[in-house]
Chain A
């Protein structure tokens, strides 16, 4: 069966520091991969998605970037965090079929001080 791993679960970072969040998927090949952010009490905001190695689509202009160095690895990064980057970051995967749902990792709760 497929599993998705996301870490760390919680992160506290100072403003201006770099960020690297990693997500890996097991049990499937060539998945679509996604990064979402959810602010407290708000809905999901899609940040990036990828349909293959090295292919990244950015949904919202910001100081974050994403990379997919391997088929089942998706990384979210920032060079300098802002206070507004605080939130709940969720990685998700989906099979390549048209009408399939997405499946989420446990999420990373990021607090910027």
Chain B
């Protein structure tokens, strides 16, 4: 099993739709998680940090299910500007918490 697995997509949704991405991780001891957003040909940018059961920031909600070892990202009322690749990120314990493991990303395309 890969350390971090994401559905690559693409998810094609109309404006205003609600879309959810799932991410599974293999290390049950993981305590913190991150979602990054990467636009085409740009650097990844931190979208949300998840340290407990979940986090909410405006239209974005991240939820953590420790028992099943998955993290989800829910986007409500999708905007055209939400089109990007969303990266699920988990700390790498082999690196003494100094490294992060990035998922390959889920691509979202929001159309008019």
Contacts and interface: CB of A to CB of B under 8 A. Distances in A.
Given A99-B32, A99-B91, A101-B89, A49 B99 contact: yes
Given A32-B98, A99-B32, A99-B91, A43 B105 contact: yes
A3 to B, nearest CB: 13
A82 to B, nearest CB: 22
Contacts of B105: 43
Contacts of A42: 104
A8 to B, nearest CB: 15
Contacts of B97: 98-99
B103 A49 contact: no
Contact of B43 (A43, A57, A90, A101): A90
Interface residues of A, number: 21
A104 B42 CA distance: 10
B41 A88 contact: yes
Contacts of B100: 101-102
A101 B46 contact: yes
A106 B44 CA distance: 9
Size category, B interface: 20 to 34
Given A99-B51, A101-B89, A46 B43 contact: no
B43 A104 contact: yes
B43 A105 contact: yes
Contacts of B45: 104
Interface string B92-103: 000101111011
Contacts of B27: none
Interface of A: 32, 42-44, 46, 49, 51, 57, 88, 90, 94, 98-99, 101-107, 109
Interface of B: 31-32, 34, 36, 41-46, 49, 51, 87, 89, 91, 95, 97-100, 102-105
9 tightest A-B CB contacts, nearest first: A99-B32, A104-B43, A98-B97, A43-B104, A44-B102, A101-B34, A107-B43, A101-B46, A104-B44
